[in-house]
Amino acid sequence: MEVIQQILFIVALGLTAWIIARRVQVIKRTIQLGRPDDRTDRPAERLGMMLRVAFGQKKMFERPLIGIMHFMLYAGFLLINIEILEIILDGALGQHRLFAPALGGFYSFLIGFFEFLAVGVLVVCVVFLLRRNGTRVERFQPPRHREMHGWPFLDGNLILIFEIVLMVAILTMNAADSALQDMGSAHYRRTGDFAFSQFLKPLFAGWNESTLIVYERVAWWIHILGIFAFGVYVTYSKHLHIALGFPNTYFARLIPRGKIHNMPEITKEVKIMLGVEQPAADAPPAEIGRFGAKDVMDLSWKNLMDAYSCTECGRCTAACPANITGKKLSPRKIMMDTRDRLEEAGRNMQANGGTFVDDGKSLLGDYILEEEILACTTCNACVQECPVLINPLDIILQLRRYQVMDEAKAPAAWNAMFSNLETSQAPWKFSPGDRFNWANGLK
């Protein structure tokens, strides 16, 4: 029986590793569809920012209670998975609690620490599940936020239920293990009671040895297969931020949030027109493939990593003044739409030998509407709020730049403003010399 379990475990481990590796390659290739963007400057500053924001959850602690609970959930789940190393070795080698003899009494302390984290994760998941569905946090509700309809809302609930099941499995597994130790059952080496699971042992009072062994093995398999399934699931879920949150914060922009990138080619032409810069005598005219962005391939790789890193928490949308006033713009939806388009591009590439073949669709038009990007006030509230330093505004501006400069589809009021800026150096239609006439007579 043990040999069969070893074989099944090794097959499950290998299959999981293959699926995850294949999925990671798809995500990598789709991110690489983006334009180059050098983010290698100031490495020490970037590393510090990653440690503070990604691991330290700095921005989450702007709401202290939620920050503490989220840190318990995030750090707890990561640290608990250190125990997976022993479980994997146990499964592959046909052993049970392989590290116990070497660690001695420290082993029980270590498992007790993991159980403390497991209880913390369990409590937080229950609270978040009740909060999400009972108190009905506004930014998660589908009717008000159409991007949360269907799968996105269900995804958040599924992952919480998933983690609750995993934590219950590991705690009851340890309790059954301790009960079997008390019986002197073979294969269950004596480690002593564990910090929290010892209080669950009365649940197994009166169980015979064979039934306890079946339950302990079932709980063991539920836990490890659940971890494998979780590893695969997160690569398709918003919870991919568990992994991508680290590189995404490392490569976040370090320049002030309000600074907008100009197109170098356009800047150069304007400077030449104004006489600030002289064109090189032998330089050919600059070739501009496209103004702004129409599809994901026109965005930078960092914009695409942002899309995959989005937690769908909705803090950006809750802070967006356009959304608050009832307009269609939702920064969260911008990121989710970008990721959906990337997913479609990934399937396209898989079907065509790793090469993207034009499918007649684009991010602007098929996913994100003109009305959404025109509603943005460029206030940077969404950028300020994001807990993993995503920049939805950058994508909005590039889409809007394409629409105005490449498609010449600016609203009439904008065209009037552009004309005034060109002729009067101000958005208003009057001479620069009359700009301060409004102050006449003021004391």
Residue 181, H or E segment: helix 151-183
Is 443 inside any structural domain?
Answer: no
**Eight-class DSSP state of 280:** P
Domain membership of residue 268 (yes or no) is no
Both 243 and 296 in a single domain? no
Domain shared by 141 and 13, yes or no: yes
Token code pair at residue 259: 């600074």
Give me the amino acid identity at 292: G
Q: Cite the beta strand spans of 43-174 per DSSP E.
A: none
**Does residue 215 share a domain with residue 308?**
no
Q: Do 236 and 121 belong to one domain?
A: yes
- Per the CB < 8 A criterion, the answer to whether 196 and 119 are in contact is yes
Residues 236 and 316 in one domain: no
The residue range of the domain holding 341 is 289-421
Q: How far apart are CA 95 and CA 89, in angstroms?
A: 8
Q: Where is average pLDDT lowest: 83-92, 243-252, 343-352, 398-407?
A: 83-92
Same structural domain for residues 241 and 370? no
Q: Are residues 337 and 384 in the same domain?
A: yes
Distance of CA 264 to the CA centre of its chain: 31
Residues 30 and 131 in one domain: yes
The answer to whether residue 48 is domain-embedded is: yes
Q: Which letter does DSSP use for residue 56 in this model?
A: S
Is the pLDDT higher at 264 or at 44? 44
Residue 281 is assigned to a structural domain of this protein = no
Classify residue 353: in a domain, yes or no: yes
Q: Is the pLDDT of residue 284 over 70?
A: no
Considering just the CA atoms, what is the radius of gyration of the chain in Å? 28
d(CA 320, CA 147): 15
Residues 66, 160, single domain; the answer is yes
306 and 181 part of one domain: no
pLDDT at 389 over 90: yes
Token digits of residue 69: 């609970």
In a domain? residue 245: yes
CA distance 316 to 333: 10
Question: How far apart are the C-alpha atoms of 303 and 309, rounded to whole Å?
Answer: 10
pLDDT tens for 71-120 read 888 878 777 777 788 888 888 887 888 788 888 888 888 888 888 988 99
**What tokens appear for 82 in the block?**
């250190």
Same domain, residue pair 170 and 217? yes
Those residues with Cβ within 8 angstroms of residue 327's Cβ, 6 or more apart along the chain or in another chain: 371, 375
Domain end residue (candidates: 199, 225, 250): 250
Answer yes or no: do 26 and 160 share one domain: yes
Domain count, the chain: 2
261 assigned to some structural domain: no
Question: Quick check: 277 pLDDT over 70?
Answer: yes
Residue with tokens 């799968």: 151
- Least confident range from 174-188, 298-312, 378-392: namely 174-188
Give the pLDDT score at 379: 93
> Which CATH number is 412's domain given?
1.10.1060
Residue 113 lies in a domain: yes
Distance between alpha carbon 282 and the CA centroid of its chain, in Å? 47
CB 406 within 8 A of CB 375: no
